[in-house]
Structures are given as C-alpha cells and as structure tokens.
Amino acid sequence: MSREYKLEKVLIEKFCGVLSLESGLSRNTILAYRADVIDFNFWLKEKDVAISEVCESLINDYFLFVRKSLKTSTLNRKISAIKKFYLWMDREKHISTNPSSRIKGLKFSQKLAFVLTENQLANLFSIPNTETSNGLRDRTILELMYASGLRVSELVGLKYTDCLLSEKAILVSGKGRKERVVPFGDEAVFWIEKYLSSSRPKLLKNKSSDFFFVGKGGGRLSRQFIWKLVRNLGAQIGLENYCTPHTFRHTFATHLLNNGADLRTIQILLGHADISTTQIYTKIALDNLKQIYAKHHPRA
C-alpha cells in the first residue's frame, strides 16, 4: 500500500470522525457515507488520481459511471457524501478549491410508500403464535411498531428503562441521538404487559439485559432479525414484496392523518427534523381519499 493511499485513508477516517461529532447524523448514515467515499477513492485509484487532486468533471464522470446500477436515492446519498467530504477538505485546507461545490443531486419523482390496511394489519397480528415466548415477543414488536411509528434502529435500540408503561409512552433515541417521547395505546399496553410478564423472563433465562426486546439467552435483536420477521409474516398474507419494518412507520403516520391528526403532531411523533419530510403523508392520505371518493360517490 502506497504512502499516499495510507494518507487518504487517514483523511477519510478523520472526516467520518468529524461527522460523528458535528453533524448529528445517525451511526448508520455515517457508515454509509464512509463507504461511499471509500468507493469513490477506489475508483480514483484505477484512474491514478489522488483524492486531493480531483476536479469537477472527474466527479461528474464518476457519477455517470455508478448511476447505471443505483437507485436515485442511493446516488443522491453518494453525492451528498462526496460533497460533504470535499467541503470538509476545503475547510481544513487539504485542497485549495472545492471541486464538488457545483455538483447537484438528482431530482426524482417520489414513489408513494405502501401503507397497510386495517384488515392487513389484523391478518399480520394474528400470525405469531402467542402461546410461545418467541411468538408473544413478535406480536408485541408488531403492535409497538404500529402504535408508535418507530424506525427499526430505534426499536432494536429500545432499552428496558425506556418503556414508561404507567405513562403509556416510550422514550426514543432517534437520529442524531435526539430524544422524543412517543405515546402508545391500550392494545399495545396489553401486549407489552404480557411480553414483560411471560415472554421476556423466559427468553432471558435468568440473565439480564438492558434491551427491551431480546432473543434467546437474552441477546439483543438485530435490525436484520426485524426485517426478516416482517418480510416472512408479510409473505404469509401475500405481501412479500411490500411489507417491511418501515411500512409500519408509514402506516402509523398515514392512519393518524386519515383520522384527523395534524401534520405538526405527526412530525413530532416520527422525529422528523423538517416538516417537509412529513408532508409525503399528505399525498398518501389524499390518494386514499380519492380512491374512497371514486368508489362511493354516485358521480365520481
């Protein structure tokens, strides 16, 4: 490995360290940005170009190269990562000019999120065998995701002490370590109480865990476990290509909006920093209303 390449690796790691301290981005986002900049650096090595000697046209060439195999959202994340990297490089005087300053993200039509109906939710909830410890835990996971709109990372990171059962609320550590309190309803209370009194102690097997949801032997559940759980349950009701943990978050927000909740309240519950992120649910709700109108109005 050349001395120059080692130096570039050091720069990338320093950049990621600064992101962790200054940006408020989640750990997963920082890891994705790190991978994006490393991939770009590998591509530059093939061109025999140092990362500190890049020009605007070369960055454009790179994005033309990778865009063939990427979704627009992934490509925009890569653009964001590289722009942030060169902004930092410029700020720290590692380069004389920022070659990414005029690089723009791609515009794309926003695909509406899939939202579960109440019947589909009921079918999903009925699948886990709640007579078993695993089944009872899985049912509680589904109920809490729908009741609170948690991100999957927030769900698996939920601590035992974060569940304020007497208050019917949970303390959530969201993106950028920002905390919020999210209430939940009586149905979730019922299943949480059953899980805590029956399932969790059996799964722990006399061990202890800081985490609220645990696997056999008290181990922390992974994000992949939740994805597989929801995918497998969705497949059993014909939704294998639609149902993900994030589907429950979309469903939570859309059902609230359909039943009269205002957008600002939904923004707070979801933990969105910018209300423009929440406004997608207005479009989802409007489309739902149009479908109902078309089906039931005599002159539709």
Can you tell me whether residue 117 is helix, strand or coil? coil
Who contacts 222 (Cβ-Cβ below 8 Å, separation ≥6)? 156
Encoded tokens for 96: 């004389």
Can you tell me whether residue 17 is helix, strand or coil? helix
**pLDDT, tens only, 10-34:** 899 999 888 888 777 778 888 999 9
d(CA 254, CA 261): 9
d(CA 162, CA 109): 38
- CA-nearest of 119, 138, 114 to 127 is 138
**The pLDDT value given to residue 300:** 47
Backbone angles phi, psi at 86, to 5 degrees: -75, -25
CATH number of 118-296: 1.10.443.10
Q: Is residue 1's pLDDT more than 50?
A: no
Angle between helices 186-194 and 133-148 (to 10 degrees): 150
Count of Cβ atoms closer than 10 Å to residue 20 Cβ: 12
Q: Give me the residue label for tokens 């790691």.
A: 13
Given the residues 151, 200, 205, 290, select the one marked as catalytic: 151
**The pLDDT value given to residue 89:** 93
The arithmetic mean of pLDDT across residues 243-268, rounded, is: 85
- Architecture of the structural domain at 3-91: Orthogonal Bundle (1.10)
**pLDDT, tens only, 137-164:** 999 999 999 999 998 999 999 999 999 9
Encoded tokens for 278: 């929440």
**The pLDDT value given to residue 40:** 93
295 is catalytic: no
- If phi > 0 it is left, if psi is from -120 to 50 it is alpha, else beta; for residue 168 that is left
Who contacts 136 (Cβ-Cβ below 8 Å, separation ≥6)? 128, 130, 191, 194, 195, 198, 199
β partners of residue 180: 172
Given the residues 249, 264, 283, 299, select the one marked as catalytic: 249
Given the residues 175, 180, 220, 223, select the one marked as catalytic: 175
Count of Cβ atoms closer than 10 Å to residue 18 Cβ: 15
d(CA 35, CA 85): 12
175 is catalytic: yes
Amino acid sitting at position 136:
L
pTM: 0.60
Handedness of CA 164, 167, 169, 172 (dihedral sign): negative
- Greater model confidence, 279 or 35: 35
Count of Cβ atoms closer than 10 Å to residue 145 Cβ: 24
The arithmetic mean of pLDDT across residues 233-249, rounded, is: 88
**pLDDT, tens only, 92-129:** 999 999 999 998 876 644 555 688 988 999 999 999 99
296 is catalytic: no
- Greater model confidence, 82 or 261: 82
Is residue 234 within 8 A of residue 243, CB to CB? The reply is yes
Encoded tokens for 194: 């059953």
Q: Cα 62 to chain center, whole Å?
A: 27
**Domain extents for the chain?**
3-91, 118-296
